[in-house]
A and B are shown apart, each in its own frame.
Chain A
Amino acid sequence: MSLLAANPEMSFIEMREGLAMTDGNLSMHLKTLQEVGYVALTKSFQKKKPLTTCSLTGLGKTSFAKYINVLEEIVLQNKPPGKN
């Protein structure tokens, strides 16, 4: 989700190398995210080789932003007073 939040779209291989994950592990994660509607997968061909491209859906972007906000709130709430 973090990778896709920083890029409009990424190939499966770019994501696999960026996350240092195995094909199977990444596929499982993407499948789960696709099922809940956070990620859209597009399959095409580049020079006769299959190319899977992933991108965040609108719902994915909103949910990710909400998640970041929640994390930030937790950090802020527990920060000692007087520190920025």
Chain B
Amino acid sequence: MSSESASEHLQVIRTLMERSAYYRRALAPMLCLSGAIGLAGALAACVLKIATHQYFVLFWNCLGILALIGSYFLARKQALKDSEPFWSAPARRVTQALFPPFLTGVFFSLVFGMDSVEPATNLWMLVSGWMICYGCGLHSAGFFTPKGVRWLGLMFVATGIGFYLLASRIPSLQTVEICHYMMGLFFGAGHLLCAGYIWASERRKNAL
């Protein structure tokens, strides 16, 4: 076998190994669901006037769990439709990538949830922390998914840091209402924007 041929064989093997690690479930519906839950949650939180540490943490964690369960349910439905196993190797990799940052987010929730100082004036720190953790999770998982997810992760990290820096200097951004708006804007509208990007890019790819 010639060197060129061996090199070509190695390249094919590498491409196949990388491609097989890719998570192939359609992500746009999952992101749409998460976005809709985020937007509805922000609206509901403002209407219900959720303003204490405990209720803020409980409310947004419940919505997060709901979005997570909904996403896994959609993935399972797709897998069953395609007669493929739901808990595939790429699905396991995505879950493993998401787990440590999500666990850190839960830890932050516990720390801030136990805070009983009223009025709640430090929830902006929790929101920044959640955004950064979520962004890290998405960025890690993005190595096994379409490129848009990695960008969404970076956007969450950047805005989490940006919000922390801004809110630490501008006291009017430290209110609970602003925290709900930020959650709605990024966990709601951010997901919907990313869903639109992935949907459009997959449509373009299929059209080629």
Residues of chain A whose beta carbon lies under 8 Å from any beta carbon of chain B: 2-3, 5-11, 13-14, 17-19, 46-47, 49, 51, 53, 68, 71-72, 74-75, 77-79
Contacts and interface: CB of A to CB of B under 8 A. Distances in A.
Contacts of A2: 12-13, 16-17, 20
B3 A68 contact: no
Contacts of B1: 71, 74
Interface residues of B, number: 24
Interface stretch (B58-66, B83-91, B154-162, B168-176): B83-91
- Give the top 10 A-B pairs by smallest Cβ distance, nearest first: A78-B3, A2-B16, A6-B17, A7-B89, A74-B6, A3-B20, A2-B13, A71-B6, A6-B20, A75-B6
B10 interface: yes
A77 B3 contact: yes
From DSSP, what is the main secondary structure of chain B's interface residues? helix
- Residue in A6, A53, A77 whose Cβ sees the most chain B Cβ within 10 Å: A6
Given A47-B80, A68-B13, A8 B3 contact: no
Contacts of A3: 16-17, 20
B7 A6 contact: no
Contacts of A8: 89
